[in-house]
């Protein structure tokens, strides 16, 4: 885990009493880059199964080569402000094995079968994926955001593997209820 991550968690915990629970809604997703030397097949989409139901992220991939702890995962958050996406102070940088131990997102991938190292030729499928943030406060001053996910190898060439843009909406779960 990175050195400054505990500081982010402390700030979030300090704000926990100020806001209601956060609901993350996936709006749409877009592949911006895929390296065909490493990725044999990749598919990602956002789906909803009921008219007023939740949105879910579906993600599948097959790799051509084994991917070990040298895979770096960068999650960069952009706020939607004044009709454009501006880079926020929120960003996370992990290697693959540390990401799978992250309590917010990575543990969910680990529960669904993602392993370190990633084996070539095996289909990894994550359907109906959503982020459970019941105990996470909404400390965001905006309602829309963009999560840029960048995967690259930590080698001399900094080889890019994949880049995915995930467009989000952030809502308070109890926004309509009165507070005492």
What's the total number of domains in the chain?
A: 1
Domain assignment present for residue 15? The answer is no
Degrees (nearest 5) of the Cα angle 111, 106, 55? Answer: 85
> By 3-state DSSP, what share of the chain in percent is helix, strand and coil, each rounded to 5?
15, 50, 40
This prediction's pTM: 0.78
Residue 154 is part of which domain span?
20-171
Domain assignment present for residue 179? The answer is no
pLDDT tens for 50-91 read: 888 888 889 999 999 999 899 999 999 999 988 999 998 888
Out of 2-16, 71-85, 101-115, 136-150, least confident range: 2-16
Domain assignment present for residue 178? The answer is no
Domain assignment present for residue 14? The answer is no
Q: Is the pLDDT of residue 5 over 50?
A: no
Domain assignment present for residue 160? The answer is yes
Predicted local distance difference test score (pLDDT) of residue 134: 62
Q: Which residue has the tokens 């909404």?
A: 138
Domain assignment present for residue 180? The answer is no
The tokens for 158 are: 């900094």
Based on the number of CB atoms within 10 Å of its own CB, is 92 exposed (0-12), middle (13-18) or buried (19 or more)?
Answer: buried
The CATH number of residue 27's host domain is 2.70.220
Helices within the chain (DSSP H only)? 5-14, 96-100, 106-111
Domain assignment present for residue 135? The answer is yes
Domain assignment present for residue 8? The answer is no
The separation between CA 153 and the C-alpha centre of its own chain, rounded to angstroms, equals 18
Q: Give the separation between CA 135 and CA 98, rounded to whole angstroms.
A: 22
């Amino acid at each position: 885990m990175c050195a400054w991550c505990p500081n982010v968690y402390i700030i979030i915990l300090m704000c926990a009493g100020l806001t209601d629970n956060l609901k993350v809604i996936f709006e749409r997703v877009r592949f911006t880059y895929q390296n065909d030397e490493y990725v044999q097949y990749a598919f990602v989409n956002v789906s909803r199964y009921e008219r007023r139901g939740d949105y879910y992220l579906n993600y599948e991939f097959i790799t051509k080569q084994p991917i070990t702890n040298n895979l770096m995962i960068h999650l960069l958050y952009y706020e939607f402000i004044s009709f454009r996406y501006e880079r926020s102070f929120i960003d996370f940088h992990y290697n693959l094995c540390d990401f799978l131990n992250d309590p917010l997102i990575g543990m969910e991938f680990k529960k669904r079968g993602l392993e370190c190292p990633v084996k070539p030729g095996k289909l990894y499928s994550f359907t109906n994926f959503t982020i459970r943030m019941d105990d996470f406060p909404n400390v965001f001053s905006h309602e829309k955001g963009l999560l840029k996910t960048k995967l690259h190898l930590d080698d001399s060439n900094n080889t890019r593997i994949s880049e995915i843009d995930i467009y989000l909406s952030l809502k308070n779960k109890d926004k309509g209820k009165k507070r005492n």
